[in-house]
Chain A
């Protein structure tokens, strides 16, 4: 039998009246919450997981807190993974208000946004009352059940958000700072504005101008001592001195070969090429011979470094004016040694040259931080390494200590490269300069996580473990 047509189960005007009454009640007795839809940036097929997400929109909407006596859930629990807080919350929002003030503002052209017609599981709710982020785990849409033939509200069952590396970038500081100190955080220190070093040089005759490696040897555990025959000139400063530079040990290896021998003092007064010998450090086989030159460049002693410069991170290029002898091997070449505090502590010749009739000009390149090291960074700003092209996001920035905390690191950054921010006066009104600094150190181990003990365990283990065959899982 069909229904009695003389009775109506809710007219459109009655349904609107109920919806209006609900809206009015919610606006009188509810609290403001921020609704933050999830944007899908990376998903895994087969396992069906959203691995990368961003929350950068927020919509204020009023909601009724059903937990008027406190959160549901089991509260704070001590687990083997540290403290887990299991607060749960049930919120009621109006269906009409959600449609008008949240759903209608979605940018439906974006592929990142999925299913906009209703509140959805996985979206976040920021509750200003407790300053915490909740994740919607279930949306109940049929409670109460079709009064006057229609549904008027959504019941959002939420629990505290489990944070991993999601980007929370709403531009509202109270929300964004909730994840500022948590999750994985690496830190970078920067160098200040650098100044350029300068050296002066002279010329001398009978100097050792080149050490040519004949055999690079093997099995050295550290740079071996290198001895050179004394000079016939008979005074200490006339004796050439050199240092050996070893190769970098390959994976799993703890011994080296000799990469090159650099001249710290070319000496003078040699009439025939001196003998070069290697000793110590456990290695064998290294053989080198020395060449001597008339009119080579003199020893760069500390007093010759007229300005030590500052804030060098990597060894700068050393340029020496060419020799009148006119052949490329006559031109002196040298490398700089960066000492403590980023100053140039020594100049070592790889070739002291020959045929110079007047003292050459030696120029040391500017430190990478010359003229930069200005500006500031802002939370969630994307930063980019200029040579590694890697990107990351700023967690926080301390302009006084020049320590930048970052997360969401795409690729490793390089020591000594320039790091540039992307903030502009449009995104951050009132900023003076976009942050631009040279990286001094990067620590990828998270030293801010209050749970992690990785650094403590590693340093304790260094004293008691014998990893002469290297830790297969990697050390830091």
Chain B
């Protein structure tokens, strides 16, 4: 039943995300004049490790070494629990695709919420060091702090993972015989509310690139007469193919509406064009001058200098035809407009998806 290999490294990523929070803690020591004489970064490591590795890394030579260098911080994952309070419907799926591609659809079941317990331990030689370290950590947790982790990079799934400070425990064994060493260790317990994803399946479903709605004059499918059809396809709002159809040969202020080009042969009336970040639509053509509507499709009119390239935002502009030009190159995640088509009928036909025609 299981046996389908997948590994998104979500637990490992959560461990790394947790660890990086405490990565740049500093401790400073001042002399009796309160001048800082020594500042040091506190070493941090994931506590559990192979014992032989610890030995060969930390004691490469078996010569006399100190007992340990302090201060040090260590963290480890201490438990994983299901979080029923964040449960989502188990049968629900969502589709997603890599942003920046044409279409690479994946099907994903809703992630399963799990709480991961972490323990951060701090060992110092001085009480003063301990207080410095704690004060650099605690104000950020009220009692939670969100970090955004790219949990599953193949589907671009970023989630905010709240890390909640649950408990702080300070120990300082200073009492008793002089034979025992004073040990100062603080232990902070955290819960990271993360999500685990199952296998991500490829799906043969495609991106929806055309929608069509037929209106009938009644609900009886036998007697109802077809009145109107509305179809829409996406229209590119920016230039994808970098066609550099022409360039303006005079400066253009934000207010001017007449473009002077070297040759108007590549343009026709109603074409959408882009200069830099501004989109325009050609209103009329006279010789080598284009009169345009400025700042269309929600762009802003700005000055353009002589020599700026004009790109044609090409496409069929007809919702009944297949996508061509820039319209066909729109990538997932981009904004787009619509090519629309309304048709009127007085017949009893309806569209058959299997035959691709009206029957």
Contacts and interface: CB of A to CB of B under 8 A. Distances in A.
Contacts of A461: 16-17, 19-20, 23
B321 to A, nearest CB: 33
Contact of A163 (B25, B32, B66, B179): B66
Interface residues of B, number: 78
B303 interface: yes
A465 B150 contact: yes
Contact of A449 (B19, B31, B69): B69
B41 A444 contact: yes
Contacts of A78: 51, 54
A284 B300 contact: yes
A411 B16 CA distance: 30
Interface in A440-463: 444-446, 449-454, 457-458, 460-461, 463
Contacts of A464: 13, 16-17, 149-150, 153
A49 interface: yes
Contacts of A132: 63-66
Contact of A81 (B22, B68, B158, B181): B68
B102 interface: no
A300 interface: no
A454 B307 contact: no
Given A159-B181, A228-B305, A410-B39, A458 B20 contact: yes
A410 B37 contact: yes
Contact of A279 (B47, B121, B127, B277): B277
A81 B24 contact: no
B35 interface: yes
B271 to A, nearest CB: 21
Nearest to A462: B20
Given A52-B37, A179-B66, A230-B306, A164 B71 contact: yes
Interface string A175-206: 00011001110000000000000000000000
Interface in B41-68: 41, 43-48, 51, 54-55, 57-60, 63-68
A470 to B, nearest CB: 11
A229 B305 contact: yes
Contacts of B19: 453, 457, 461
A452 B66 contact: no
B33 to A, nearest CB: 8
Contacts of B54: 78, 82-83
Interface in B108-138: 121, 123, 125-129, 136-137
Contacts of B32: 41-43
B106 interface: no
A476 B64 contact: no
Contacts of A121: 178
A174 to B, nearest CB: 10
A165 interface: yes
B24 A182 contact: no
Interface centre among B35, B39, B74, B148 (most CB of A within 10 A): B39
Interface string B280-307: 0000000000000000000010111111
Contacts of B149: 464-466
B276 interface: yes
- Chain A interface extent, by class: 35 or more
B201 interface: no
A398 interface: no
Contact of B24 (A184, A230, A449, A476): A476
A131 B306 CA distance: 77
B179 A80 contact: no
B24 A52 contact: no
Contact of A82 (B36, B45, B178): B45
A131 B64 contact: yes
A51 B128 contact: yes
B269 interface: no
A392 B113 CA distance: 49
A42 B69 contact: no
Nearest to B30: A42
B349 interface: no
Contacts of A85: 65-68
Nearest to B55: A83
A84 interface: yes
Interface of B: 13, 16-17, 19-25, 29-32, 35-41, 43-48, 51, 54-55, 57-60, 63-72, 74, 76, 121, 123, 125-129, 136-137, 140, 145, 147-150, 153, 158, 178-179, 181, 251, 253, 276-277, 300, 302-308
17 contacts: A42-B29, A47-B126, A49-B128, A163-B66, A164-B126, A178-B64, A184-B41, A229-B251, A229-B306, A411-B36, A451-B72, A454-B41, A457-B20, A460-B20, A461-B17, A472-B145, A476-B24
Given A183-B69, A277-B276, 14 more contacts: A51-B128, A80-B48, A83-B54, A83-B58, A137-B179, A163-B70, A229-B306, A274-B305, A275-B304, A279-B276, A410-B37, A457-B16, A464-B17, A475-B24
